[in-house]
A and B are shown apart, each in its own frame.
Chain A
């Protein structure tokens, strides 16, 4: 049993500020928020996407639709890992010709995003797909990068990154667990 001590690297306010900045970056890049659809990847990507949409609506006079995506059926390791609990997939609008911003909590190997891209292409043909993540911890195994990053967090492969959000966990922040020697 490896002993770990979680160290908090973002507190609740830091997460709120990061979400707010991402919201501004999205609307800045697109000169507003028309034709945008945010799609949160289960589980923590969904409340983060909702947070970004709420932040955008505070300074743009636009309601940005938020969808949910579970990539469980698109994972490339399904034959190695049996199914776990799945979330629902629900898109409020047709994504064809819209600008989709995928939202996830942690960007790591990139395999979840690869699966999400496959899922999106089965659901429609967006004009563009972008990626927003709260934390980028590195160690990509695929040529994938995020367009909007809350915090770049250099980690080692042995470390664990945990994100908790108010809407789901009654506390909010980002923790990193380092294995103790």
Chain B
């Protein structure tokens, strides 16, 4: 995400705006990428992101190959490199790669000739999530300049947080990370952000409250004091929701742990943009694929 400057991000958001219009049509599909093949390679499980990329590719009339590592030759001992080279040999125009290892998509990109889209690598980056979040905020507020955004939760283990810090600050928003000290990244001093350990004290100043999932599978567990204590200090319940400005919005990348980082009635409030985020995810991914693949046959 950090490779894109403001103009680069805004170009993609402008494209995504066009695709949100396409997705609202009775026939939500354009022939822009007819004849192109998109391969999704999710070495780490995911439902929404893979479905979102698949829907985006199909809305552009591209063909989709889904690679599923369980039951593949990977379980027979084939290396990652041989796997992606095999997929490339079948003829694909872009690969969408998610992997639990940091840098894996970049590594894949060095092996293959086609463009590679990072769909999340370990705790490192998740750039299309940041694009869809920026798109959601731009459609809501018109621009991100001057927005006060708090990202709350397990920042240390969150690729969403890292990509969103890059995108939000590049677009002019002010970002505050809110978490227990054990869940802040070690390198936090190098980020262009503020930090806080007291959610209640800043709620009234926010335009956007961005909640992260408590990722027990990615190691939130051992560094959390205790889950009930986390919920008591950082969970968004009705009381805290009431402390927000009336125009402030709540976001969450999903999947939600209802009752932990977000109370169930708050998650269903119209000011929670969680389902809008999902819808905008398709448009944002269409923009990335279209940008990478239009002009692909140029000599």
Contact = CB atoms under 8 A, between A and B. Distances in A.
Interface of A: 70, 72-74, 78-83, 86, 88-90, 118-119, 122-124
A119 B26 CA distance: 12
Interface residues of B, number: 24
A73 B31 contact: yes
Given A74-B32, A122-B25, A122-B29, A80 B297 contact: yes
B30 A83 contact: no
24 contacts: A70-B18, A73-B290, A74-B31, A78-B32, A79-B295, A79-B296, A80-B295, A81-B294, A81-B295, A81-B298, A82-B294, A82-B295, A82-B298, A83-B291, A83-B294, A86-B15, A88-B18, A89-B18, A89-B21, A118-B31, A122-B26, A123-B25, A123-B27, A124-B26
Interface of B: 14-15, 18, 21-22, 25-27, 29-33, 35-36, 60, 290-291, 293-298
Contacts of B295: 78-83
Contacts, number: 59
B30 A74 contact: yes
B297 A79 contact: yes
A73 B30 contact: yes
B22 to A, nearest CB: 7
Contacts of A90: 21
A50 B129 CA distance: 39
A63 B298 CA distance: 45
Nearest to B17: A88
Contacts of A123: 25-27
Contacts of B18: 70, 72-73, 86, 88-89
